[in-house]
A = this chain, B = another copy of it.
Amino acid sequence: MRNIILNLATTLDALIEGANGEIDWCILEEDMQFDAFLASIDTIFYGRVSYDQWGHYQPDATAPDMEKQIYSAIQSKVKYVFSSQSRVDNKATFISTDIVAQVQKIRNQPGKDIWLYGGAKLITTFIENGLVDKYMISVHPTALGAGKPLFDISARLNLVLAETKVFKSGVVQLIYTPLSDPKKDR
* A residues neighboring B (CB under 8 Å): 12-15, 25, 137, 139, 141-145, 149-161, 164, 166, 170-172, 174, 176
Contacts and interface: CB of A to CB of B under 8 A. Distances in A.
Given A12-B174, A161-B172, 11 more contacts: A12-B137, A12-B151, A13-B150, A13-B151, A142-B158, A144-B156, A145-B151, A145-B153, A160-B170, A164-B164, A170-B176
A145 B164 CA distance: 22
A156 B150 CA distance: 17
A161 B170 contact: yes
A25 B164 CA distance: 20
Contacts of A142: 156-159
Contacts of A174: 12, 139, 172
Contacts of A164: 164, 166, 172
